[in-house]
Amino acid sequence: MKMKTLFLGSALALFLAACSPENNQSPGTNMGFEDPFVSDVIGVSPKHLNADFWISRKMDKVLLSPEGITAYNANNTAQDPTLYDLNAMADTLTRDDLIARMRTVSRISKSPRIYKDGTPVTEADFARYEAMLNLDAIADQNAVKFALAVRRTSMRSYPTHDLIFSEGAKDRDIERFQESALFPGDAVAVLHTSTDGQWALVQSYNYIAWVPKTAIAMGARDAVLDYANHDNFLVVTGDKVFTVFNPEEPQVSEVQLDMGVRLPLSRPKALAHNLYGQNPYLSHMVLMPVRQEDGTLALKHALIQRKADVHVGYLPFTRANIIRQSFKFLGERYGWGHRFNGRDCTGFVSEVYKSFGIKLPRNSGDQGRSAIGINTRYEKDAPLADKIDRLKHGKVGDLIYIPGHVLMLVGHDQGKPYVIHDVHGLGYLKADGTLYKGTLNGVSITPIVPLRSSVDRSYLQSATTIKTLP
């Protein structure tokens, strides 16, 4: 027994020695594994990837109250033609008005297009897509209907799932029929139906395009708008949040909810302690739209865990929260028009600001041209020094617009302005003066001054507008 005790004691001593600081295995160490930071992005180190690095105490000031944001949105919607007040939507549209709206999105491309396998998209192919628009069914007066989105879904140029790309495209990331996305709970006006009856032309608060009818549920105008305007609501503040698994109601089980999604809160007494066999005290209870077999709208209760990244009402609109919200997308795959279950540059910006309740136009060109915010405009040959000086005095959340892209100012390091943006490519000059061309394809932190679209032109030289919101 004595020898056994000595043996166990020795083994324990060896174990403790192996775990001791002298063996560099103190709590919190990597136990010999490594994951080094490797990057070809100029001017970026690990410190820049931490939101706290960019946040200071003075950024906690609330910039606009919820009431102020409501008034701000109303004013912007009244003056910006790319924002729509669904509450003011007419009951009917004339044939000319409906076709004009459709033609803002459904247009035959003037540039050559190809399918995924490289096969050219022919005139006959576009004639087939045109035939799907169901133009012959458009009457002199056309009733406007209403619906709620029941799941995240693509908004398309034409009523088809066919994928087309630019001729000569080196990758298949930018798909030319992809326009945007709807999210669960989004209210839309339904303007028209495709020839095959499977697609709906819908108008959201900032876009018009085609969506599969299976992704929306048709409801009475008042029911849809009351849902969208409910004054007691939960906002998704994480990049993606899911409803709780539900074995009884699959339509509200593990539904993906992206940043900015707004859902009415509802906790009836009859369901206070048991919802679908689960006690809901650890969750928020919300109303989710579901599509019934006949395509009409029903509302079902669903749970979202209290520990999830959500907020009752909109987040306080502060500079610190702009940084925190934008960093939640850091590293997400770039998705043109919200492809790949992600988002593009304007989708990224819009969803960050949606978490505060601020509504923006959908596309970067429309955002940049919009009178929304405080805008500094630049002519084509404006001095680069003027733009750099503007950014030196810029505010966190300022938006920089170049043709086809938008970047968000996140702060300064050693006097140099840094941005966060959802971006496809990467370019800057190497030491020998040649252009380095790389890939980002995700939400990224970069300095802005070195970024170039070509040897001869930098991003900032191309910048047309720098915008401060509100």
Q: pLDDT by residue (tens digit) across 246-305?
A: 999 999 999 999 999 999 999 999 999 999 999 999 999 999 999 999 999 999 999 999
Full-model pTM? 0.91
The band of 30, judged by pLDDT with boundaries at 50, 70 and 90, is: low
Q: How deeply is 387 buried, as exposed, middle or buried, from its count of CB atoms within 10 A (0-12, 13-18, 19+)? A: buried
pLDDT digits (tens, 9 = 90+) for 127-142: 999 999 999 999 999 9
Domain annotation covers residue 150: yes
Residues 434, 325 share a domain: yes
Query: Looking at residue 24, what is its pLDDT?
Result: 46
Q: Which helix (H) or strand (E) holds 74?
A: helix 66-79
Tell me which of 254, 288, 312 is where a domain ends.
312
Domain annotation covers residue 3: no
Average of per-residue pLDDT values in the chain: 93
Query: Looking at residue 470, what is its pLDDT?
Result: 87
* Rounded distance between C-alpha atoms, residue 390 and residue 435, angstroms: 26
Domain annotation covers residue 16: no
Among the listed residues 327, 325, 306, the one whose alpha carbon sits nearest the alpha carbon of residue 317? 325
Domain annotation covers residue 195: yes
Tell me which of 171, 195, 228 is where a domain ends.
228
Q: What's the CA angle centered on 389, arms 383 and 394, to 5 degrees?
A: 130
Query: Looking at residue 78, what is its pLDDT?
Result: 96
Residues 119, 190 share a domain: yes
* Rounded distance between C-alpha atoms, residue 429 and residue 459, angstroms: 12
Query: Looking at residue 316, what is its pLDDT?
Result: 98
Task: Identify whether 470 is preceded by a cis peptide bond (ω within 30 of 0).
Answer: yes
Q: Residue 9 pLDDT more than 90?
A: no
Give the domain extent around 269: 233-312
The band of 57, judged by pLDDT with boundaries at 50, 70 and 90, is: confident
pLDDT digits (tens, 9 = 90+) for 182-200: 999 999 999 999 999 999 9
Q: Residue 2 pLDDT more than 70?
A: no
Residues 351, 303 share a domain: no
Residue 216: beta bridge partners?
Answer: 149
Residues 370, 402 share a domain: yes
Among the listed residues 174, 167, 207, 169, the one whose alpha carbon sits nearest the alpha carbon of residue 188? 207
* Rounded distance between C-alpha atoms, residue 349 and residue 420, angstroms: 10
Domain annotation covers residue 53: yes
Domain annotation covers residue 459: yes
> Residue 15, Cβ neighbours under 10 Å: how many?
10
CA distances from 8 to 1, 2, 21, 143, 200 (A): 11, 10, 22, 85, 74
Residues 183, 131 share a domain: yes
The band of 203, judged by pLDDT with boundaries at 50, 70 and 90, is: very high
Q: Residue 14 pLDDT more than 70?
A: no
Residues 419, 333 share a domain: yes
Cβ(187)–Cβ(229) below 8 Å:
no
Residues 388, 276 share a domain: no
Residue 443: beta bridge partners?
Answer: 422
Rounded to 5 degrees, what are φ and ψ at 238? -85, 170
Domain annotation covers residue 204: yes
Query: Looking at residue 29, what is its pLDDT?
Result: 57
Name the token pair of 20: 């001791």
CATH number at residue 104: 2.30.30.40
Residues 212, 182 share a domain: yes
Q: What phi-psi label fits residue 259: left (phi over 0), alpha (psi between -120 and 50 degrees) or beta?
A: beta
Tell me which of 228, 251, 283 is where a domain ends.
228
Residues 330, 458 share a domain: yes
The band of 19, judged by pLDDT with boundaries at 50, 70 and 90, is: very low
State how many domains the chain has: 3
pLDDT digits (tens, 9 = 90+) for 337-348: 999 999 999 999
Query: Looking at residue 23, what is its pLDDT?
Result: 46
Instruction: State the average pLDDT over residues 42-59.
Output: 96
CATH number at residue 336: 3.90.1720.10
Cβ(284)–Cβ(306) below 8 Å:
yes
pLDDT digits (tens, 9 = 90+) for 223-262: 999 999 999 999 999 999 999 999 999 999 999 999 999 9
% residues pLDDT > 90 (the chain): 91
Domain annotation covers residue 1: no
- The answer to which of 12-16, 211-215, 356-360, 415-419 has the lowest mean pLDDT is 12-16
Query: Looking at residue 33, what is its pLDDT?
Result: 83
Residues 142, 214 share a domain: yes
Residues 266, 336 share a domain: no
Residues 219, 237 share a domain: no
Residue 448 DSSP symbol: S
The band of 153, judged by pLDDT with boundaries at 50, 70 and 90, is: very high
